[in-house]
Amino acid sequence: MTHHDLRNWLESVEERGEVRHISGANWDIEMSSIAEIVYREGKNPKPVLMFDDIPGYPSGYRTLLGLLASTWRICKALGLPEDQTDPVSLVKNWRSKNKGLKLIPPKVIKSGPVEANSLTGDNVDLLKFPWPRFHELDGGRYITGHAVIQKDPDGGWHNLGTYRIMVVDRNRLALHILEGQHGAVIMHEKYFARKQNMPVAIAIGVDPVLWLASGQAFTPWGTSEYDYAGGIKGEPIEVIEGKHTGLLLPAKAEIVIEGECRPGDLAPEGPFGEWHGYYGNLGLSSVPEPVIQVKIIHYRDNPILTCANPAVPPTDASLTSAASASAAIWTYLEDQGIQGIKGVWCHELGFGNLFNVISIEQLYAGHSRQVGLIASQYNKYSGRYTVVVEEDVDPSNLEQVVWAITTRGLPDQSIQILPRCRSSSADPAIPLEEKKKYQVAPKPLTAARVVIDACRPLEWKKDWYPIARISPELRAKVCEKWQAILSDLI
DSSP for 422-484, please give it: E--TT-TTS-HHHHHHHHHS----EEEEEEEE-SPPGGGGGGSPPP----HHHHHHHHHHTHH
**Residues 345-358: what's their mean pLDDT?**
90
Q: Examine residue 74 and state whether it is found in any structural domain, yes or no.
A: no
Q: Decide: 372 and 437 in contact? Cβ < 8 Å.
A: no
Amino acid at 250: P
Number of structural domains the chain divides into = 2
Summarised one tens digit per residue, pLDDT across range 55-102 is 999 999 999 999 999 999 999 999 999 999 999 999 999 999 988 899
- Burial zone of 420 (CB within 10 Å; 0-12 exposed, 13-18 middle, 19+ buried): exposed
Q: Is the pLDDT of residue 233 over 70?
A: yes
Q: Is the pLDDT of residue 439 over 70?
A: no
Q: Decide: 232 and 213 in contact? Cβ < 8 Å.
A: yes
Residues 268 and 303 in one domain: yes
Calculate the CA 324 to chain-centre distance: 8
Give the pLDDT of residue 381. 65
Top-confidence residue, 321 or 1? 321
Of 275, 307, 339, the one marking the end of a domain is 307
Give the pLDDT of residue 273. 92
Strands (DSSP E) along 77-163, which ranges? 107-108, 117-120, 142-143, 146-151, 158-161
Q: Is the pLDDT of residue 445 over 90?
A: no
Q: Examine residue 165 and state whether it is found in any structural domain, yes or no.
A: yes
Q: Examine residue 21 and state whether it is found in any structural domain, yes or no.
A: no
Q: Examine residue 18 and state whether it is found in any structural domain, yes or no.
A: no
Q: Decide: 340 and 361 in contact? Cβ < 8 Å.
A: yes
Cα–Cα distance, 429 to 446 (Å, whole number): 10
Q: Is the pLDDT of residue 442 over 70?
A: no
**Residue 426 sits in which domain range?**
318-458
Residues 267 and 402 in one domain: no
Top-confidence residue, 279 or 85? 85
Q: Is the pLDDT of residue 438 over 70?
A: no
Give the pLDDT of residue 14. 97
Residues 294 and 186 in one domain: yes
Residues 324 and 399 in one domain: yes
Q: How confident is the model at residue 473 (pLDDT cuts 50, 70, 90)?
A: very high
Residues 221 and 349 in one domain: no
Cα–Cα distance, 388 to 265 (Å, whole number): 47
Cα–Cα distance, 291 to 121 (Å, whole number): 17
Give the pLDDT of residue 371. 97
Q: What is the CATH number of the domain that holds 217?
A: 2.30.110.10
**Residues 288-312: what's their mean pLDDT?**
96
Cα–Cα distance, 94 to 329 (Å, whole number): 12
Give the pLDDT of residue 21. 96
Residues 113 and 202 in one domain: yes
Q: Examine residue 251 and state whether it is found in any structural domain, yes or no.
A: yes
Residues 421 and 276 in one domain: no
**Residues 279-287: what's their mean pLDDT?**
81
Cα–Cα distance, 368 to 337 (Å, whole number): 14
Residues 356 and 296 in one domain: no
Residues 448 and 361 in one domain: yes
Q: Examine residue 58 and state whether it is found in any structural domain, yes or no.
A: no
Q: Examine residue 333 and state whether it is found in any structural domain, yes or no.
A: yes
Cα–Cα distance, 4 to 22 (Å, whole number): 25
Q: What is the CATH number of the domain that holds 404?
A: 3.40.1670.10
Of 307, 341, 363, the one marking the end of a domain is 307
Q: Is the pLDDT of residue 400 over 90?
A: yes
Strands (DSSP E) along 251-391, which ranges? 255-269, 287-299, 304-307, 341-346, 355-360, 385-390
Dihedral angle, C-alpha 172, 176, 177, 178, nearest 10 °: 170
Summarised one tens digit per residue, pLDDT across range 374-393 is 999 987 666 899 999 999 99
Q: Among 189-198, 217-226, 251-260, whose mean pLDDT is lowest?
A: 217-226
Residues 241 and 368 in one domain: no
Give the pLDDT of residue 216. 80
Q: How confident is the model at residue 440 (pLDDT cuts 50, 70, 90)?
A: low
Q: Examine residue 67 and state whether it is found in any structural domain, yes or no.
A: no
Of 307, 337, 369, the one marking the end of a domain is 307
Highest mean pLDDT among 231-245, 376-390, 441-455: 231-245
- The answer to whether the Cα torsion of 52, 55, 58, 63 is positive or negative is negative
Residues 294 and 381 in one domain: no
Q: Decide: 121 and 133 in contact? Cβ < 8 Å.
A: no
Residues 280 and 349 in one domain: no
